[in-house]
């Protein structure tokens, strides 16, 4: 089952790219002139992307572990 390692690495990297996007976007919002509810609304739009990215990275790491153990 060693073939699961490479797709797992790919999926993990996709999740990490999503996390980097969230960091980049939140940092851009931090440096913008938005305040109050506008800032909160923009940050709330990033939450599903962040959660999906963490989940995808976790699934990729699980694939790597399963591929290494089997």
Q: pLDDT digit string (tens) for 17-29?
A: 999 999 999 999 8
| Residue 2 pLDDT | 82
| Residue 70 pLDDT | 87
The number of folded domains in the chain is 1
CA 70 to centroid of chain Cα atoms: 26
First to last CA, the chain: 5
Q: Enter the pTM of the model.
A: 0.84
pLDDT of 30 strictly over 90: no
> Which structural domain, as residue segments, surrounds residue 15?
2-69
**Which residues are CB-contacts of 70 (< 8 A; sequence separation ≥ 6)?**
1, 4
pLDDT of 35 strictly over 90: no
Distance in angstroms (rounded) separating the CA atoms of residues 70 and 68:
6
Distance in angstroms (rounded) separating the CA atoms of residues 5 and 28:
34
């Amino acid at each position: 089952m060693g073939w699961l390692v490479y797709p797992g690495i790919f999926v993990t990297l996709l999740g990490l790219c999503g996390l980097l996007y969230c960091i980049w976007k939140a940092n851009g919002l931090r440096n913008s002139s938005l305040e109050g509810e506008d800032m909160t609304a923009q940050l709330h739009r990033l939450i599903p992307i962040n959660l999906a990215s963490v989940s995808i990275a976790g699934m990729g790491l699980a694939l790597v572990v399963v591929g290494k153990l089997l």
